[in-house]
Amino acid sequence: MIKSSSKGYAGIDCFRMIAAFMVIAIHTSPFLSWNETLDFLITFVICRLAVPFFLTCTGFFVLGSFCEIGKSTSLLRSLHKLLILYGVSTILYLPVNLYAGNLPTSLGELLRMLFFDGTFYQLWYLPATIVGLVFTGFLLRCFSLRTTGILVGVLYIIGLFGDSYYGLTAYIPGLQNLYDFSFQISSYTRNGILFAPAFLWLGAWIHQGHQSKTPGIPFVLSLMFLLTEGYLTWRLNLQRHNSFYVLLPLCTFYLFQLLLYIPGKAHPALRWFSMNLYVIHPFCIAVLLLIFNTVGFGYFLETHSFIHYLLVCALSIFGAYTLHFIELLWHRHFKSPAKRFSHREKSF
């Protein structure tokens, strides 16, 4: 059983930044103008490790403590912070949604957006984490850690066939229709029921001491098999989306193990900075597109995808610091000194 106070988690905190830039890559396809296959393998296979990593972090620091001491304090605190972050992010992107005409037109669409799809395309991670924490926490209250792992594993397999293996459902009578019906409730199976619980549980499982003493070689092998799986499901035209892979949990498990072996402490700013990057980068993508289209150079971003990626990263770094500055001003004026925000919860 790992004690959170006994490690600095330098590897975990440093990889938060890498993972944030991996998410930006997913939304900009930096290598597409060079080679489509290269871009897919890096962006939509390797970079797909980013969100599972973040979810595993949350499971490790939040659900790990939840399993260890049997109290909901850390879980409730994290849910509170996530709800605030989701609310602020929703307000931030409200003008963009209004301009793009993406506001919900019915109650059902509003509920789907709030609980599953997210109020902007990258924000699906926040309701998925919130719902996933509540759902997985409930399972852990009712069942053992091992039994919960079996249950969330089954749910993950169900999600697979609505994502990277969706093409196989056509060969099973009625199954494709069932999945198509489910997409009216959640546009993707990468949500807080089918996707997030597996990685949240994985973090708790690692926290309870289930580790590998030599994760290096298993990580490299699992990554190679993950690349093979991603390439085959893509080339065989099985994919409806590409968030789910069979090897993704295993690869995430060994990646997290490797990061735990890195000693020392990283700067605590990496925690809030990585989350700010995640939240602000689609806004930066929209701003860049608007600027380049206005001056008549919109085609440049399409034909120079890596430069596009670098520009988005640079603008997102500026935006992340701006968000933090606004946050500090807010807490300086509206919070008592004892409650001023000085750091982000480790689960972020």
| pLDDT of amino acid 265 | 82
Q: Are 319 and 276 in contact (CB under 8 A)?
A: yes
Helix, coil or strand: residue 9: strand
Going from N- to C-terminal start, the domains of the chain cover 4-22+37-266
Tokens for 24, please give them: 């930006």
CA distances from residue 40 to 35, 48, 59, 178 in whole angstroms, order as listed: 9, 10, 28, 29
| Overall residue count recorded for the chain in this entry | 348
| Regions in the chain scoring below 50 on pLDDT | 1-6, 337-348
Region for 212 from its dihedrals, namely left if φ exceeds 0, alpha if ψ lies in -120 to 50, beta otherwise? beta
Rg (CA), the chain: 20
Question: Looking at residue 310, what is its pLDDT?
Answer: 96
Alpha-carbon span 115 to 171, nearest angstrom: 31
Are the CB atoms for 282 and 100 separated by under 8 Å? Answer: no
Q: What pLDDT is stored for residue 148 in this prediction? A: 96
pLDDT digits (tens, 9 = 90+) for 314-327: 999 999 988 888 87
Q: Cα–Cα distances in Å, from 192 out to 37, 99, 112, 115?
A: 30, 28, 12, 8
pLDDT at 300: 86
Cβ neighbors of 277 (< 8 A, separation 6 or more) are: 17, 20, 21, 23, 24, 316, 317, 320
**pLDDT tens-place string over residues 161-178:** 999 999 999 898 889 999
C-alpha span between 205 and 260 (Å, rounded)? 14
Task: List phi, psi (to 5°) of 294.
Answer: -65, -40
pTM of the model: 0.91
Integer Cα distance of 346 and 108 in angstroms = 34
The two counts, helices (H) then strands (E), for the chain are 15, 0
Q: Which of 102, 223, 117, 240 is nearest to 170 (CA)?
A: 240
- Distance of alpha carbon 203 from alpha carbon 139, whole angstroms: 15
CA distance 167 to 179: 11
